[in-house]
Amino acid sequence: MMMLVKFIGIFITAMGIAILFNPKVAKRMMAFWRQGKNIYIGGLIRLALGGVLVYYSSYAKLPQVLLVLGILAILGGLLIFILGPNKSKAMIDRAQRKPDNFLRLVSLLAIVFGVLIIFSA
């Protein structure tokens, strides 16, 4: 089952690389999550990914890393539900207005987190 964790890491890394080379990908993703109730689907996905990371952290080479990243993902998912759709969408609006270089910088964090997950699994 650590393959699932590695797949998550690969997916996050790939998303980060895509955004690094084309920040408009991030803006399109944000536009999707902002539509209707999609923000809640994003929250559920974060909760599920966080749960997977926390659950499988005890089987990992670096369990603390997966545990921390899993908890952060769970907190991010919960935050979406706590803040509600209006505040969450306002945060997405602010992020969409950021310059491309800022989005590239944030994509580097995604790449680092993805690689950490891959090597921790």
What tens digit of pLDDT does each residue of 68-78 get? 999 999 999 99
Percent above pLDDT 70 for the chain: 100
SS3 52: helix
CA 85/CA 90 separation, integer angstroms: 8
67: its two tokens: 């545990």
Side-chain-side CA neighbours of residue 48 (13 Å): 8
First CA to last CA distance, the chain: 10
Residues 39-56 pLDDT 10s: 999 999 999 999 999 999
Residues 3-16 pLDDT 10s: 999 999 999 999 99
Residue 30: what pLDDT? 92
